[in-house]
Structure 1
Amino acid sequence: MKKLLLLFIVLTLNSVQAQEVKTLTYFQNDTLKLDLDLYLPKKKAGEKIPLIMFAFGGGFSGGERTSEKDFGKFMSQNGYAVASISYSLYMKGKDFGCKGTLTEKIKAIQIGVSDMWQATAFLIENADKYNLDTSKIFISGISAGAEIGFHASFWDYKLMNLYKSNLPENFKYKGFIGGSGAIQDINLITKEKAIPMLLAHGSNDDTVPYAAGSHRSCPTNASGWLILFGSYAVYNQMKDLHKDIELITFCGGGHEFSGYLFHEGQQYVLDFVNDVLKEKKFESHLIQPPKKGKGSGGYLFCE
């Protein structure tokens, strides 16, 4: 009898936290169809739901939007909507490394960013239908997706957008959550454009630089040489601007930590968006992630 009662309680709690997942097409033409998965929390009467846009990783040549569905479910169970988008994999079948073409690498980022802007504009246009709060839209991503997030937040929308989608005048994301991402020009992050950030990065990442460095650690004479400013460079820029940023650094860690915030570190994301929406002012600082057990292969925290 007790077991049946416990089962009933568990099922009831799951029902209370039940969320809805909708697959929506946000762009389509004769050659391309782009979808997003919208994770929605249980609707509360009269309440507008904050939204987190998400872009997966994969070097602009692979990956899929369903890869982080656990993150979408976690955030929706805690009252947030998550839109995990598909975007154009421009580098599929091309070299995104040192022997690639610089202009192609930049174009891949620009197309991905334009897709993100399109998806954002689509959900803003349909906000009433899904009960979304358009004043509380965060952006997030892993690796290539984090590069989309960085540039979507700080590039000039009117100058860099490749499509005709329309974001509201002076649109600004509420905050950015990025795993092992980077931006091409650190000077794009200004006092006027800065938004709160939560970042995570391995200090020895040889794919996307932790500080300032070349993408894929390419030598300067490589055809695909691209300078990038990673999470630690962004941290210092934000600190100099006296703007809010939290950075989780894995000392000695590589690119394998790019998904940390969306896997083991989901609670960090939840706390971050809660704090931003409460307008909590926090000092820019580095965070020590929970230590793993002896022999687990975990990395120590470092500054």
Structure 2
Amino acid sequence: MDKIATFDSTIIPVILGPTIDAFTPLLEARRADIESIPSKTFKYGGTDRHQLDVYYPPSGAGSGSKMPVLFFVYGGGFTSGERKLEPTNLVYTNIGAFFAQRGIMTVIADYRLVGQGGKHPETVEDIRDAITWFLANQSIVAAAGGLPASTPLDALVVAGHSAGANIAASLYLSPEITPVGSALRAATKGLVLVGGALQFDLTGPPMLQPGLLAQYYGSNEAAMETMPTALVARAPAELIASLPPVFVLKSEHEPPPIHAACDKFAVDLGVRLGRAVRCEVMKGHNHVSFAWSFGSGEGEEHPELMAEFVKAQI
């Protein structure tokens, strides 16, 4: 984290390479530990982008008779990302391993990206379908990991980072995608949104490459109507009331638009809920370092808080 503190910029393309360079040796030194966590791959749909990895807690790492589940949605600006990120293959394996070591079964799914048939709402529907598949096949998932098929899998919490936070928030704020009263909504006990692209300002500094917002949403006008903060504003009261506890996180050194997006989302949702939404700053982190810190031995304080949040929903 000392290296991260020396960076002058918060611009994601500028800090991406140096942040990866800072954390790669730390993760490589712990590769054996990270890769020792058992995992299985399943298909939840018809293409290569419709696959998910499940990471299983080692024996003795569970929480009594109940096993919490974290479903993690990675980011990548809607244009990139994969379950095992090249070139090291340690991200997002490190996230699955980190939570599994703390007794939390962890699921990480691919979804279609822009340029591969992925746009809104298809990306959100992919994550919906992945979670739905998991919920419908819990006994198969448990048995594949050497657990009794009857293992109770409790406290499903969905977390997303960056574009993944946008997708996760959209999933629960879109009644046409996840109806109020649906099994998925009822099963979800928590929502964690990290460094989210939750609010867009077309007059300010862009968070995404030029033209991508219109490409993902269909048009700039559709983006302004469909971004998560807009969904909060117009969501029916019964949908807002159905939301699980929400935990918003942002890095200390986020780009200013993401700082503003996280703050506005938390405030606006808090107004609709009639209570404050938990929102915390990850000291020392930038937008990229969050995902790379898991299992690195540095900057893991807020990953630990996420694990505590998941277990608290049992």
TM-score category by the smaller chain?
A: 0.5 to 0.7
Q: Tell which has more relative contact order, 1 or 2 (C-alpha 8 A, sep 6+).
A: 2
Matched, 1:121 2:132: yes
Q: Paired residue for 1:8?
A: none
Q: Which residue of 2 aligns with 1:145?
A: 164
2:250 matched to 1:200? Answer: yes
Matched residue, 1:87? 111
| Structure 1 residues 273 and 249: alpha-carbon distance in aligned structure 2, compared to 1, 3 A threshold | closer
Specify which structure has the higher proportion of helix.
2
Question: Cα 1:256–1:129, aligned 2, differ >3 Å: closer, same or farther?
Answer: closer
Alpha-carbon distance in structure 2 between the residues aligned to 1:92 and 1:43: 41
> Could you tell me how far 1:258 is from its partner in structure 2?
5.8
Return the letter of the residue paired with 1:65: R
Structure 2 unaligned segments of length 5 or more: list them. Answer: 1-32, 85-90, 143-150, 199-227
Matches within 5 A, 1:222-237: 230-237=261-268
**Letter paired with 1:51:** V
The superposition leaves residues 210-236 of structure 1 with CA deviations (integer Å, 9 ceiling, x where unpaired) of 22xxxxxxxxxxxxxxxxxx2111222
* Cα offsets for 1:251-285 (capped at 9, x unmatched): 9x8644564775755442333443454369xxxxx
Q: Does 1:209 align with 2:258?
A: yes
Displacement, 1:169? 6.6
Describe how 1:72-111 pairs up with structure 2 within 5 A: 72-89=96-113, 91-92=114-115, 108-111=119-122
Structure 1 length-normalised TM: 0.62
Check whether the contact 1:137–1:174 (CA below 8 A) recurs between aligned residues.
Answer: yes
Deviation at 1:117, TM superposition (A): 0.8
**Percent of aligned pairs sharing the same letter:** 20
- Distance in 2, matches of 1:270 and 1:51, equals 15
Specify which structure has the higher proportion of strand: 1
Kept after mapping to 1: 8 A contact 2:188/2:244 = no
Distance change >3 Å, CA 176–CA 169, structure 1 → 2: closer
1:35 — aligned with what?
A: 51
Give the secondary-structure state (helix, strand or coil) at the position aligned to 1:54: strand
- Check conservation: 1:52, 1:80, Cα contact below 8 A: yes
Distance 1:237 1:261, change over 3 A: farther
**1:64 equivalent in alignment to 2:82:** yes
Question: Which residues in structure 2 correspond to 1:1-12 (within 5 Å)?
Answer: none
The equivalent residue for 2:177 is 160
CA contact (8 A) 1:176 1:197 kept: yes
Q: What CA distance in whole angstroms lies between the structure 2 residues aligned with 1:199 and 1:176? A: 11
Shift of 1:179: 2.3
Q: TM-score, normalising length from structure 2? A: 0.60
Corresponding residue to 2:302 among 268, 279, 299 = 268
In the aligned structure 1, how far is the partner of 2:53 from the partner of 2:184? 26
Give the drift of 1:130: 3.1
The question of 1:22 aligning with 2:40 is answered: yes
Tell me which amino acid in the other structure corresponds to 1:278: A
Question: 1:244, CA displacement in angstroms?
Answer: 4.4
Residue in 2 that maps onto 1:52: 70
| CA-to-aligned-CA distance 1:93-118 (integer Å, 9 cap, x gap) | 89xxxxxxxxxxxx723211111111
Distance 1:260 1:155, change over 3 A: farther
User: What is the distance in 2 between the residues matched to 1:234 and 1:169?
Assistant: 23
Larger deviation: 230-239 or 130-139?
130-139
| Larger Rg computed on CA atoms | 1
Checking the alignment, whether the CA contact within 8 Å between 2:41 and 2:54 is kept in structure 1 is yes
Q: Distance in 1 between matches of 2:94 and 2:56?
A: 13
Q: Which runs of 5+ in 1 are unaligned?
A: 1-13, 95-106, 212-229, 281-303
In the alignment, the residues of structure 2 paired with residue 169 and residue 113 of structure 1 have an alpha-carbon distance, to the nearest angstrom, of: 13
Change beyond 3 A, Cα 1:154–1:128: same
Counterpart Cα distance in 1 of 2:68 and 2:170? 21
Give distance in 1, aligned partners of 2:310 and 2:56.
20
**Partner deviation per Cα, 1:64-121 (whole Å, 9 max, x = no partner):** 11131111111101101111111001x2389xxxxxxxxxxxx723211111111111
Q: Which residue identity is paired with 1:126?
A: N
